[in-house]
Amino acid sequence: MLISSKRFLKLGAGLLVAIVCFVAALWGIPLADVRHSFARANYLTLPLMLLGLFAFFWLKAVRWRLLLEPVRRFETREVVSPMMIGFMGNNILPAHLGEFMRIYVLGREHGLSKTAVFSSVVLERVFDVIAILFLFAVSLVFVDGLPESYKSSSLAIAGVTLVGLLVLGAYVVWTDFFVRIAEKLLRFVPDSLRGKLIGMLETGAEGLHSLRSPRLAVGIIATSLAQWAINGLTAYCAVLSFGQTLPLLASFFVIFVIAIGVTVPSTPGFFGVIQLCFWFGVQPFGVDKADAFAASVYYHLSQYIPVTLVGLYCLSRSGLKLTQVQGGAIETESIENEAVETKAVETTQTVG
């Protein structure tokens, strides 16, 4: 596989993070208790969890199709294969390279501008954050048993989410105005950095055209909320499988903690990180730590294994090799970085 020295260092750091998280997640738990948890678990929930996984990725594919509609109209089934190849890549390759794998595969199959596809993937992450924040705020408001400090913070989170949506909408409609404001606010920043930040604003706006259509905007928001709600229910099923109780809406709290955790550089698949974050998410609700660890492994593997296998199958069907797609993804990442840098230089010269 193609791994640069920089990526190798990131992988090493990620491995260290994974080990530390695994140790922390298992700290104080007798291994016999973990074995007992797995032995007495009810695995009849697995079909329901796999159904939830299917719905999660189908909704994700529908949303990606909507985000891509200003570039080209796709059938949902056309974007599924590149998407699953990308998520498989995230599971087995470092540094979220899978995101660029799906950009490369979709662009290659349909002759699309990789920059346009890249913008849609970036926008996906924005809506993931908004949806997860919203569901987290809901869990803090309606779940009993949480400290009052948690509940009061939900109002702040809800406010931040609302403001974020309003700012995003205004940014889409009045992009030039936002750029001019940013130029004034950043006038004391060094020219090179200011140009890069302004360039990123202008480049990012190119991926937001889909939000100018009310139909697409509603569809994107609805699918974002639905997919993460389903993912939360999957975590809820995992906890129930090990004989522990958890308020239904508390699963959104768990998903929020996991979403924060996976932003930390780690190994492909986020082993260790997910286990520790799962424990942090269920701990306020009195879930036994051994059962929480076992449930986190069950939840994690019920997604990791099917997604990796489906992605490898899609890769095989595409006629591409993993090394070929990985090389194309690295090249795509480099091109996008250069595009942002070029935009930054042009903006700096214009502002100057």
For 271, phi and psi rounded to 5 degrees? -65, 140
pLDDT at 4: 55
To which residue do tokens 């200011």 refer?
194
Contacts of 20 (CB under 8 A, 6+ apart): 272
**Separation of alpha carbons 301 and 50, rounded Å:** 11
Q: From first to last of its 352 residues, what are the pLDDT tens digits of the chain?
A: 445 566 667 667 778 888 999 999 999 999 999 999 999 999 999 999 999 999 999 999 999 999 998 888 999 999 999 999 999 999 998 767 888 899 999 988 888 877 778 878 888 888 898 899 889 888 887 887 666 666 666 667 667 767 777 777 677 667 777 777 877 777 776 766 666 666 666 666 665 666 677 888 889 999 999 999 999 999 999 999 999 989 999 999 999 989 888 877 778 889 999 999 999 999 888 899 999 999 999 999 999 999 999 999 999 999 989 988 988 888 877 766 555 554 444 444 444 4
Judge contact between 297 and 275, C-beta under 8 A: yes
Judge contact between 175 and 212, C-beta under 8 A: no
Q: What is the distance of C-alpha 230 from the center of its chain?
A: 14
CB atoms within 10 A of CB 332: 24
**Separation of alpha carbons 109 and 123, rounded Å:** 21
In the chain, where the domains are located = 41-351
**Separation of alpha carbons 10 and 4, rounded Å:** 10
**Separation of alpha carbons 97 and 137, rounded Å:** 31
Q: Helices 250-261 and 214-241, interaxial angle, to 10°?
A: 100
**Separation of alpha carbons 190 and 351, rounded Å:** 12
User: What's the one-letter identity of residue 290?
Assistant: A
